[in-house]
Structure 1
């Protein structure tokens, strides 16, 4: 079975995931903890990592079942077909969320355009291309995941 990306109404990600789970549809809504500040207090809250997206794992023929849940808008499409996310990519996101906020990173001297393989952290063994080099950070493009990673470091 494939993982698909469901687009939801704004701020409905957790509600949609809960409804899908109640219907027996395997889904994943990655959440991250952030500190929100109000005028009188600060509070840690769990917010979706991807706004308006929930990942669902279903057979091709069962794709219409998600529309029985309130808040589901449509599937995300890529090149005219429903976008399919690899299981390894879902596992990488899960692993990344479980990891602590800081990592020990040893940095060699890289140049823009170098192709490297990450040796630690949640993106272990992922290939990346060095996009930018400054005195205190690298910007890496992880093409297989379709994301950009900024790594801070101290020289």
Structure 2
């Protein structure tokens, strides 16, 4: 007879060590999931695509209820298993499935000056523009052809897609 079906639990990691914790847990044979997303960061004045943890400081681990939890406490990068009332918090499998589906979306390509983009939201939705530069971490400067003149506008990075 097989033991209880494995379930997902939340692991709290030490500050800025979620990648290290995931690496060490996988090496020990655990099934882990650390959702990641791609975002634009300004590095030395240029916009650069960076892959980061969706939930910094946390990762999900799949364990059977009768599994040995002791090695988790001494794994590098792991702080603790999130628990309430002394019992580890068991997560619904559908939550993990939804996260996996949403984070499997294609990663946004890094933008270079001169790239053609399409505006997806706002008053200029569906118009074509030319990417000029990043304007902070989450905004972009675009050249938009209006009234036979190129106008420079600033908008959220999330409101454009590369053509």
- Structure 2 length-normalised TM: 0.57
Extract structure 1 runs of 4+ deviating beyond 4 A.
Answer: none
Query: CA offsets, 1:23-49, max 9 Å, x none?
Result: 110010111111111233221111111
Give the match's secondary structure for 1:17.
helix
Q: Which residue does 2:53 correspond to in 1?
A: 48
Structure 1 residue corresponding to 2:104, chosen from 62, 78, 98: 98
Matches for 1:6-155 after TM superposition, within 5 Å: 6-60=11-65, 61-99=67-105
Q: Which has the higher strand share?
A: 2
- Superposition CA RMSD, Å: 2.4
Which protein, 1 or 2, shows the higher relative CO under an 8 Å CA cutoff with sep ≥ 6?
2
Give the match's secondary structure for 1:44.
strand
* Matched length: 104
Unaligned runs of 5+ in 1: 102-151
- Structure 1 length-normalised TM: 0.60
Query: CA offsets, 1:2-61, max 9 Å, x none?
Result: 111110011111111111111110010111111111233221111111121110011233
Query: CA offsets, 1:122-150, max 9 Å, x none?
Result: xxxxxxxxxxxxxxxxxxxxxxxxxxxxx
Give the match's secondary structure for 2:68.
helix
Unaligned runs of 5+ in 2: 1-5, 108-158
